[in-house]
Amino acid sequence: MSLVQTQIIHSNIAIVTLANPDRLNVLSKQLIAELNTSLDTLENDEGIKCIIITGTGKVFSGGADLKELQTVSLDGKVENDFIEHWQRLSLITKPVIAAVNGYALGGGLELALMADLIIASKEAQFGQPEIKLSLLPGGGGTQRLARLIGKAKAMVLCLTGEPITAEEALKWGLVNTVTEHADLMPTALKMAEKIATHPLSILKMIKKAIASGTEMSLSEGLKMERELFWKACKEGSYKEAISAFLNRR
């Protein structure tokens, strides 16, 4: 049985669905392998401009597969670091929207944090409950959360293990938009459609500028931004776009 389903909309938008609700869409080796295969295909498909990742049932993802975690090798070798395989989503160069339909806990929240935009159902909840298992987040939770919502709020989520609601996540700056549950996918699709009207090369540059810039000093980030700007001028069709804009006026 396939644990990940991929659907193409309008020929340029992909919806990737975690489809193992009976097991809370846990990030098992099989699910991650299927997810990464799908992501590789979509990354290499020049027709796809935006990817939406979501879940089935009442769960986006419940995080790590605890049964597999019980038997994981602890010899410290890189090849046994199963968490590394979770990071593929963070390496996608195209815009990614996480449409969080329900619980996003532990690795599930970490997966959502790898997206560029998070749209949440009112039924969604977000949390890093690893502390309750005498563990800490290992897939980016302590790092991406602190960068996104600040040290104080990241500390609350990670030190207490208690989840927050979608509305709280919106106030904290963790998610971009909260919708009624029935409106979740239409809202995500509407956003994806807006994104997909633009050239893929420029979408990739913008994503790179923002994502990479947050890890640089301001001067380094500004230098990279200028380099990408002039690259866009050389490679893009901005003159035609400006002409079309001026003619419409």
* Catalytic positions: 64, 107, 110, 130
Phi-psi group of 24: left, alpha or beta (phi > 0 → left; psi -120 to 50 → alpha; rest → beta):
left
Cα 218 from Cα 158, distance rounded (Å): 29
Phi, psi for 18 (deg, rounded to 5): -75, 120
Q: Mind giving me the DSSP string for 146-165?
A: HHHH-HHHHHHHHHH---EE
CB of 209 closer than 8 Å to CB of 26: no
The C-alpha angle with vertex 181 and arms to 58 and 188, in degrees rounded to 5, equals: 105
Residue 82's nearest CA partner among 40, 26, 2 is 26
Cα 84 from Cα 154, distance rounded (Å): 22
Sheet strands side by side (includes 96-100): 4-9, 13-18, 50-55, 96-100, 117-121, 177-179
Phi, psi for 204 (deg, rounded to 5): -65, -40
